[in-house]
A and B are shown apart, each in its own frame.
Chain A
């Protein structure tokens, strides 16, 4: 089997095994399934370009997971800009229920976190992974992960302090 065929097989196996997890991460940031798949596809394309540097499948999967989060935010930012252009001149939307409003503010606060903490929130807090898995995905020790979670929550509380 040539190196290229090896990579092809590695990627196909990774997609089959982890597509649902990649989609799960993107789904907390994006609403439409088409956008979710776009974000995952973009992350996989980036990983494909760097396929030579990942010898271990686990590292590649973790890296793709982190890039899925970044790509999802990029996509969301672009679509929000487009929506803003369309909404200009249209009357303000009806008020949201309290819970939805709070979740929207939380989303906004998470999106404004530095990348490192944003990934920590999505993988370690919202992702539902156990500590060891989350730490491995974020390429850090469990201790560092706890510190990052603590700092991420501190930053979120600061951002939401007036809410």
Chain B
């Protein structure tokens, strides 16, 4: 197909709008939107409660099986397993909420967001910000299929994280974050990286440092 033929076809497509009837009135549409919003709010509160209870249960289990100060090597192995379970809290939260809802830990607080697509999560993404003396200012962890738009409104950090798959191979991570350092000076983080780059360490103003780690999930 040449350029002219494509333009003609696009023109045809632009003109071939289906008939503009069969729609509810604007006021009915608004009323329906309010009802859906309310139902969704109730569901999210319920889901949040269930997830919080589930994660609390896991933490209690981990705490109960943790070894005492004089524990031997076997107990230390058990401790290591528990540590792993704790690190994998993202997987647990993901399992609880399913693939339609994005899960993220922002400084250990669970945050839920709408997925842009319902694909299987392909990447584990960890974003950390450190102060000049190495103290963690913010820590963000989430799993993504490679197409996500996350809005943060946490007390400690606000802004947006945008993952956009440009084609089958390339996914771009775009950060636009705002937070404060230990002396309450504002820090703005605006970075773009290709996800296949895997790691990024960047020095920011006021001696702060950004570190991004991406792990591709094999399964």
Contact = CB atoms under 8 A, between A and B. Distances in A.
Interface of A: 11-12, 15-16, 19, 23-24, 27-28, 31-34, 36-37, 40-41, 44-46, 48-50, 52-53, 70, 74, 99, 102-103, 106-107, 114-116, 121, 125-126, 128, 153, 156-157, 160-161, 163
Contacts of B10: 106, 121, 125-126, 153, 156
The 8 closest A-B pairs by CB, nearest first: A33-B22, A160-B1, A126-B14, A50-B151, A33-B23, A53-B151, A46-B114, A106-B9
B1 A45 contact: no
B165 A19 contact: no
* Best-buried of B3, B12, B23, B118 by chain A (most CB within 10 Å): B23
B13 A106 contact: yes
A125 B8 CA distance: 12
Contacts of A153: 3, 6-7, 10
A11 B10 CA distance: 32
Interface size grouping (class) on chain B:
35 or more
Interface stretch (B31-39, B124-132, B179-187): B31-39
Interface in B60-103: none
B22 A70 contact: no
Contact of A41 (B3, B9, B36, B118): B36
Contacts, number: 92
A107 to B, nearest CB: 8
Contact of A15 (B33, B116, B165): B33
B172 to A, nearest CB: 10
Contacts of B165: 114-115
B14 A116 contact: no
B6 A126 contact: no
Contacts of B153: 52-53
Given A103-B12, A125-B10, A27 B114 contact: no
A116 B166 contact: yes
9 contacts: A15-B30, A37-B32, A41-B32, A48-B37, A103-B12, A126-B13, A153-B10, A156-B10, A160-B1
Contacts of B6: 153, 156-157, 160
A103 B23 contact: no
* Best-buried of B13, B36, B118 by chain A (most CB within 10 Å): B13
B23 A102 contact: no
B3 A27 contact: no
A12 B30 CA distance: 7
B134 interface: no
B194 to A, nearest CB: 14
